[in-house]
Amino acid sequence: MQLPAPFDYERATSVDHAIQLLDRLGSGARIVAGGHSLLPMMKLRLVNVEYLIDINDLHRELGYVRVEPARIRIGAMTRHRELLDSPELRRSLPIFHDAERAIADPLVRNRGTIGGALCQADPSEDLSAVCTTLDASCVIRGPGGERVVTMAEFYRGPYETAVGAAEILTEIRIPLRPNGSSAFEKVGRRAGDWPIVSCGVAVWLDGAVITDARVGLAAVGPNTTGIPTVSRALRGRPPSEELFAEAGAIAAACCTPVDDQRGSAGYKRHLAAELTRRALRRAVARLDGRES
């Protein structure tokens, strides 16, 4: 029987209570949300905790998707399934729907949360690539109050984030700009698996010209990576198959995949190019109303 090593269990009843618990219990305390990353790691003794602070009751406070004119705010306890099912999100940011369809499986999606996924900071994690692509920012609350960091600041390295000892991620904020769309493409070894490579794209058009574009890749570097060189290459040019291929080639050149059991570095580079191309094609098609 695989059980985690012994720990004490606490249940937080509010964000402030969770912060108090973290503050009081010190460095041996760890937050659990959906638990689908943390509990398996605890079973394998890759993570050992003295105190586990269950924040599932905070779903009432932190489970939401709120659309505002210039941004969308997503509560950290919003579950994958809620992101997948949210019509507002599908309308404004279809990249979420694309990604969520391919994250784990329906049962896992019933539990796992966006906050947990981001805090796990796995370089292969799809929602991290989505948030990187969308230039999201993260709201972190601690005993001293709230601070907001960019995704680039949030990720410190594999499995490491800017969330400090007595802090908790409470919200993800995504800017909304007009005349834009987005898409996500992923290739995995089998349904519901981690990606070999996945790619998010957001693109904005003014008439026939791309005004801005962002590409985020997962599983091809120490963290999910945004590729500014691709954005520069796309700006000011009309969308075309040639341009998408050019962007793909830049993405492949800019990432740093390694050989592992999911594939060779060469194959991953190939995927980075191809998936960038496909995601750009799909996002632009959505803008033209050719695809939903």
Partner 1 sequence: MQVTMTVNGAEATGEIEARLLLVHFLRDHLSLTGTHWGCDTSNCGACAVWLDGEPVKSCTVLAAMAAGHEVRTVEGLERFGELDAVQRGFMECHGLQCGFCTPGMLMTARALLDRNPSPSEQEIREAISGQTCRCTGYATIVRSVQWAAAEEAGTRTSIVDDGAP
Q: Which stretch binds partner 1 (CB under 8 A): 30-38, 129-137, 230-238, 248-256?
A: 30-38
Taking the least distance from each CB to partner 1, the nearer of 2 and 292 is 2
Told to check if 207 binds partner 1 by CB under 8 A, we report no
Told to check if 40 binds partner 1 by CB under 8 A, we report yes
Taking the least distance from each CB to partner 1, the nearer of 108 and 176 is 108
Told to check if 5 binds partner 1 by CB under 8 A, we report yes
Q: How far, CA to CA in Å, does 239 sit from each of 176, 222, 243?
A: 21, 30, 6
**Site size with partner 1, rule: CB under 8 A:** 29
Told to check if 110 binds partner 1 by CB under 8 A, we report yes
Taking the least distance from each CB to partner 1, the nearer of 97 and 173 is 97
Taking the least distance from each CB to partner 1, the nearer of 36 and 282 is 36
Q: Which stretch binds partner 1 (CB under 8 A): 48-56, 116-124, 240-248, 265-273?
A: 48-56
Told to check if 111 binds partner 1 by CB under 8 A, we report yes
Going by their DSSP bridges, the two strands 168-175 and 160-161 should be labelled as: unpaired
Told to check if 52 binds partner 1 by CB under 8 A, we report yes
Told to check if 81 binds partner 1 by CB under 8 A, we report yes
Q: Out of 27, 48, 91, 105, name the contact with partner 1 by CB under 8 A.
A: 105
Told to check if 3 binds partner 1 by CB under 8 A, we report yes
| Interactions with partner 1, residue window 220-279 (CB under 8 A) | none
CB of 107 to partner 1, least distance (A): 4
Backbone angles phi, psi at 176, to 5 degrees: -115, 125
CB of 175 to partner 1, least distance (A): 32
CB of 195 to partner 1, least distance (A): 16
Told to check if 104 binds partner 1 by CB under 8 A, we report yes
What 3 state SS string does the chain have?
Answer: CCCCCCCEEEECCCHHHHHHHHHHHHHHEEEECCCCCHHHHHHCCCCCCCEEEECHHHHHHHCCEEECCCEEEEECCCEHHHHHHCHHHHHHCHHHHHHHHCCCCHHHHCCCEHHHHHHHCCCCCHHHHHHHHCCCEEEEEECCEEEEEEHHHHEEECCEECCCCCCEEEEEEEECCCCEEEEEEEEECCCCCCEEEEEEEEEEEECCEEEEEEEEEECCCCCCEECHHHHHHHCCCCCCHHHHHHHHHHHHHHCCCCCECCECHHHHHHHHHHHHHHHHHHHHHHHCCCCC
Which residues bind to partner 1, rule: CB under 8 A?
1-9, 11, 32, 35-36, 39-40, 43, 52, 54, 56, 81, 104-108, 110-111, 191-192
